[in-house]
């Protein structure tokens, strides 16, 4: 948890279910967790460049989707750490689930014929994302998100 001496900033008091160890609004009145916010540039700028290169090279759309998902995670995390609002927390956490599903798809489709789509796997991952999203929106329990994200990460490893 963040230190008790946090300042009130532009976005008001936090409404998120999680708060990290950085003192709120210590560097900027407009950014709740300054360093957690700006460190997300690594998840925004390089993936945008990767997406552009993927498009230029004419690679499969799944690779473009992977880069764009990383960008979405970076933007969502930027918004969350900047505001510490629950809605922005969802913009941070749900794209992580969706991105990992895209990464699982990319990984399990490595040894296939070029430009084919594995519809059963795609359907399974979309359904999983949908179910996790609905349950998480109703539970509002960060541990549920963490367990499901870890499960997807283990599939990637």
Rounded Cα distance between 66 and 71, Å, is 9
At 92 the pLDDT is 95
Q: Would the annotation count 138 as a binding residue? A: no
pTM of the model: 0.86
**N-to-C CA span, the chain:** 30
Residue found under tokens 């994302």: 129
Does the annotation list 33 as a binding residue? yes
Domain boundaries, the chain: 34-156
Does 145 appear as a known binding residue? Answer: no
- Per-residue pLDDT reduced to its tens digit, 36-93: 999 999 999 999 999 999 999 999 888 999 999 999 999 999 999 999 999 999 999 9
Q: What one-character DSSP code corresponds to residue 9?
A: -
Residue 20 labeled ligand binder:
yes
């Amino acid at each position: 948890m963040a230190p008790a001496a946090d300042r009130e900033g532009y976005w008001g008091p936090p409404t998120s279910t999680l708060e990290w160890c950085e003192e709120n609004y210590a560097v900027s009145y407009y950014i709740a967790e300054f360093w957690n916010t700006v460190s997300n540039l690594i998840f925004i700028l390089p993936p945008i460049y990767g997406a552009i290169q993927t498009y230029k090279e004419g690679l499969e759309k799944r690779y473009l989707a992977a880069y764009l998902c990383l960008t979405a995670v970076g933007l969502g995390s930027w918004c969350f750490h900047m505001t510490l609002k629950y809605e922005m927390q969802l913009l941070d956490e749900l794209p992580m689930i969706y991105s990992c599903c895209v990464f699982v798809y990319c990984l399990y489709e490595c040894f296939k014929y070029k430009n084919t789509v594995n519809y059963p796997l795609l359907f399974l991952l979309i359904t999983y994302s949908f179910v996790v999203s609905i349950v998480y929106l109703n539970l509002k329990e960060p541990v549920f998100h963490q367990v499901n994200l870890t499960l997807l990460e283990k599939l990637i490893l």
